[in-house]
Amino acid sequence: MIDHIDSGYSLTAKNGIVTYSFLDGPHTIGIYNNPKEGFPEPGGYTPMSAAEQAVAREAMHLWDDLIPLSFVEKNGNGADILFANTTTGPAQAWAYYPDQHKYGKVASDVWTADPTDNWTNQWLNYSGYGWTTIVHETGHTLGLSHPGAYNFGPGFAVNYTNGAEYAQDSRQFSIMSYWSATETGARPLDVWVGLANYPQTPMIDDILTIQAKYGADPTTRVGNTTYGFNSNAGDAIYDFTKNHSPTLAIYDAGGNDTIDMSGSNSGVFLDLHAGSFSSGGVKPTLAQANAATDEFNAATDATQGDFAPWTQASLDDYLSAVGTNRAAQIQAMTGVSGINALSFENLSIAYNTTIENATGSSARDLLWGNDVANVLKGLGGNDVLKGFGGNDTLYGGDGNDTFVFAKDGSTDKVADFQTGMDKLDLTGVDGATAAYVTYDAGSHQVRIDTDHNGVADMFINIAGTGVAASDILFHA
């Protein structure tokens, strides 16, 4: 997969610094202005708007987070990477690979179709195609290619079926891909507007590839970082009070970290394994949905047309249908029903990243840990929590919660067990039959003799109201 996304070109950074700037003169510069060379851009050149420039700066920041190079904005036209618009190019946007062109000053430049020529390039919020376009093109400037031998242009008609060269060639895995995340089963949505969502950051295969080329940045968010609600990640894209429909990948270099979906007000499935995908979003009020729709309509042109405002009934019906469909997908994958998420496989964790903790929503959630010590908090709803390896601490919160265990050598703690309401699920533990599972009230510990030799070899510590035999689920 790395071989598919790595173009083979790399940007040479003097003293580890890459400069970028915005072409802002009355005309293009240098070799672009040589009519003998036939560059398409000069005839329709315009500077990027302030809004486009802000997205380009964020794109540089997102890539900067991943690799040890430093990206520094420079005034003037002599930077390593230049950004500009044009109306005379062949496509939505394009960029030159580093060191690709015989004229070095052309290398790594980014050109986007002027929004007057292509309205999607002024659709610049987190869910906008203009946002994705700029992050994608910036990946080209660093030497990433499309994952297959395809490129938009006159007569282009290739699709995933005949254009993808490997299964993961979709926007679920790579922002450099042309193909919808739905091609690989994901369903990222911006339910505030009612549209499929686009990737907002470099995705997990992009992170793997760019770090194979340049190395991984060991300084990115090395403290204890929270992503989602109550975020301290230092970037609004990871703050779900600002980015309500996240479709992104998380790279984190250290610390004790948390994905917090406590404000999502709809079910979530969080999987903390590296390289995994999670599902969830934020349910809008009617006012929020219509404000987002108005923002989208402000970006569109007459060909696209405007979306009608939501009514409370139409919004409720749509969100209900989305939740039902996402719940069916999550159940098909995990066997757990009733997780009414608003997107499917829209959040991912980089292959080399450890996230220790997960906090769910006020609705029914499914929370999976990984093989380090996790703290999982279900909050409201009838949640299902499974810590996997490591000595985990599990909080169900309000509702009738289910705590799922396996014999993995760890000793987990249920921090708020409510007898008669919550369940300990031992159906996946071989040998955990009723005759060989006991609760010791003195030590507040469930003890399991899985090999039936008279000595307990698996333990679950309990804080709460005790455990009755009827609170335990056994394999039939």
Q: Between vectors from CA 426 to CA 423 and to CA 429, what angle results, nearest 5°?
A: 170
Secondary structure (3-state) at 84: strand
- The answer to whether 261 touches 243, Cβ cutoff 8 Å, is no
Q: Which residues contact 317 (CB under 8 A, 6 or more apart)?
A: none
On the CB side of 78, CA atoms within 13 Å amount to: 0
Catalytic residue chosen out of the listed positions 41, 137, 183, 356: 137
Q: What values do phi and psi take at 205, rounded to 5? A: -75, -30
Taking each helix axis from N to C terminus, what angle separates 129-141 and 50-64, rounded to the nearest 10 degrees?
50
| Closest CA relative to residue 378, chosen from 397, 393, 392, 363 | 397
Answer yes or no: 183 catalytic: no
CA 238/CA 205 separation, integer angstroms:
19
C-alpha distance from residue 324 to each of 280, 367, 380, 404 (Å): 13, 19, 19, 24
Chain centroid to Cα 181, Å, comes to 12
Pairing of strands 445-448, 458-464: antiparallel
| Residue 21: strand pairing partners | 82
Residue type at 35? P
- CA atoms 415, 418, 422, 426: torsion sign: positive
DSSP of 314-339:
HHHHHHHHHHHHHHHHHHHHHS----
| Closest CA relative to residue 138, chosen from 208, 192, 61 | 61
CA 379/CA 398 separation, integer angstroms:
6
Catalytic residues: 137
